[in-house]
Amino acid sequence: MKTKLRAEDRWVMALAIAAGLAMLVIGVRFLTVPHQAARFFGLSNPPGRFDLHHVVALRDLWLALMLIGLATLREWRALALCLGLGAIVCFADSAIVAWSSGSGGAIAFHVASGIYCAALAYASHSRSGNSH
């Protein structure tokens, strides 16, 4: 049985779950309104089918559930690794958006998401008792 959470741990858990819920919303949007989701992401809409949008949606849903699960289970080191790698993806997404559409708002969203993930990765790692 896990011990009672300290206030700092509860905050990290809540912020990680919030990140997971945000990813869940993004994934559902890519499934249900792919044109709007792509525009918000910062990419122009491709004509025709939405196969790629559905791939992105499933990736986001999987990542969301993984973040929520790891936070809920207090798997701090695993959560830190996922969020740290997620920060890299967010920064890479901002570069892709800059090259694709140049949408300032979308670029800022991805950069801010990367900073959020990096800070949360650090906070999650510091929660693990045996940080290496």
**Domains in the chain: boundaries:** 7-127
Mean pLDDT of the region 39-48: 75
> Tens digits of per-residue pLDDT, 49-100?
777 888 889 999 999 999 999 999 999 999 999 999 999 999 999 999 999 8
Least confident of 13-27, 51-65, 115-129: 51-65
Q: Residue 3 pLDDT > 80, yes or no?
A: no
pLDDT at 39: 85
Q: Do residues 65 and 24 lie in contact, with contact meaning Cβ atoms separated by under 8 Å?
A: yes
Q: How many helices (H) and strands (E) does the chain have?
A: 5, 0
Mean pLDDT of the region 106-124: 97
Residue 115 makes CB contacts below 8 A (sequence gap 6+) with 87
